Structure 1
Amino acid sequence: MTITETSLVGADLGLTGLSGVPAADGPQKVKDFTSDQEVRWCPGCGDYVILATVRGFLADLGLRRENLMFVSGIGCSSRFPYYLEAYGIHSIHGRAPAIATGLAITRPDLSVWVVTGDGDALSIGGNHLIHALRRNVNLTILLFNNRIYGLTKGQYSPTSETGKITKSTPMGSVDHPFNTLSVALGAEATFAARALDSDRAGLTEVLRAAAQHRGTAFVEILQDCPIFNDGSFDALRRESAADHLVPLRHGEPIVFGAQGEYAVVRSGFGLAVTPTAEVARAEIVVHDAYSDDPEYAYALSRLSDQGLDHVVTGIFRSVSRPTYDDGVRAQARSARERTPVGPDSLQRLLTGSETWTVG
């Protein structure tokens, strides 16, 4: 097998993110994915809703629990594996994508998930996150974004807005925050989406598409921290929420508002929001989640910057590209075919032409 052939493995076979993962023997229920561990988050934490949504989604997904793997780092969100009746690893700060990459390469029969937070993934774990996205490893990353460090008691995080007053920034943060979806798309994410913790239907829809995607699926979940950053996303939950949430549906014009008062149109090299009544129907952007143009998805992410005036939700991008784990396994097969493994393989390696004796 040549290098060119190796690079195409997994791209032309019609594989999905769940190809090779064994299905359950019969119907499953939410209780089948509920562990015996006491759930220990603060009252009112958005993580409760996310946990309930994921349990329900997994029951519908229909995979064997033994073939589900949830890997987390450090933070409130990283307690997640304890509360699921599936395999899980509570790993080290920021390194969950690296551990998940190893699992995805060596165990193609697993559905591998990473559960992380804005501090865990975008601060100490930023390097691991962007390279998992760049490599397009077959795993799903759920990033809970509450714009604060919750577990360590309320310091500002890489997504906290400029001017944010916290215990570590008593005069207001002078940092410019990450736009999480822009980071993911800038790192060549093949699947990027956003959901709100309280929108169970929208989150379930995104999770289902993410699980089916072959490659790294990145999902940001906007999540409330009632203790250290209460009300950070209240504008997206009030009666006026429809004026702020911009839902994406593939193949449909991007129109939002309680009465469809607003629309997204092209503006120069980017996108802009305008009153629907002021533009022709043909000028309104029709969402194409499968577009090969990364600049389009990136422009969508820029509609949501520091403020909550316009927060885009749904699937920004879902495209096909060869995956890192498929390529590694193909190379390993090719190497074994060229050099068959036998009982003397280790000895030949140790005494081969690439070794020498030091006197």
Structure 2
Amino acid sequence: MGITILIVDDSLLESELLRIALTRHEPFRNILVANDGVDACRQAALHQPDLILLDWEMPDMTGLEVLRTLKKNNITKELPVILVSGVSFSDKIEQAFGEGAADFIKKPIHQEELVARSEAVLRNYSNYKSLKDHANHLNLANQQNERILKSILPLPILMQIKEYGSIPPRRYKDCVAIFVDMVDFTVKTGRMSPAVLLKELHELFNGFDAVVDQHFCTRIKTVGDAYIAVCGMFYTPDNIEIEAASAAVKIREYVMERNRTNEIQWELKIGLYNGDIIGSSVSKSNLNFDIFGETVNMASRFQSMCEPMQINVSESLSKPLSKAYKLVTRVPRKVKGKKGAVPMYYIHRSIGEYNTEEAVVETVSSAL
């Protein structure tokens, strides 16, 4: 198609002389002409020329006013403009460049100078567009990489990697680990197509994410059908234990509500345990953030020793949770890594549902 140049001049003779001079140069064969500033702005927006030759001295709307209008329009602001003047430019050079002109030429115009300056501006504009396109591609790639990293790493850890380039191990004090596991996952998924399975997990885990975000918790990772979050690692609300329990209760409620309208029915087991947690990456070549320690192990075991659609919590959580929830005391159970039987409690429902101001801890000797 060649290069498109828009000539703007109120003199038909001057426009024709410029057109003839340019068309003698092979690439400059697509020439547009505008005889006033309004038409120039319209054609620039419509045709997006590669270069605009703009006369400074025009009635009604001067070349400088046209230039300002072009630079204010997002569609035309980056188009290169060469100002052309029949009078001395000595007092106008600074003003011309200040308004965004790429170059200027004084009349009468010599063909060699016109072609040389036009080619120089076009080269600069082409280089600018290439650099801008490259920068846009890099920006899009960075945004995509960031989205991927955000889906893998907690945001505070991602910010830490950006700033320091690593994830040093750290002990996080007084946290609550939350383990969520899908009941009979293997049996149910054996009858599903991969697409249906991924859709189900995507919807479920997105729902869980929305809940934990509301309660100052952080999703650490998902492992198959397991969803692992922590309250108190990066955000420290006044009632960490209640926030963690509220997140667990709302996750259970979310699944119950979803089951009312969804063909595929799910049940959960949720375990909560509080204490210190160590967080870090286990490999320099793998930035996956993971959590370790007794608190993590016990939350996992409490989840595994839980009945479907129950939330199993530790004795150390029972006292702070009794301010907001009715708890059911379970029969103590032997847990790997602990001496003797370990007390356990189910979160039954919030105290508000009973319209009472104090918690009631109900002992059910037959509870598992």
TM tier, smaller: under 0.3
Q: Which has the higher strand share?
A: 2
Larger % of helix: which?
Answer: 2
Greater Rg over alpha carbons, structure: 2
TM-score (norm 1): 0.27
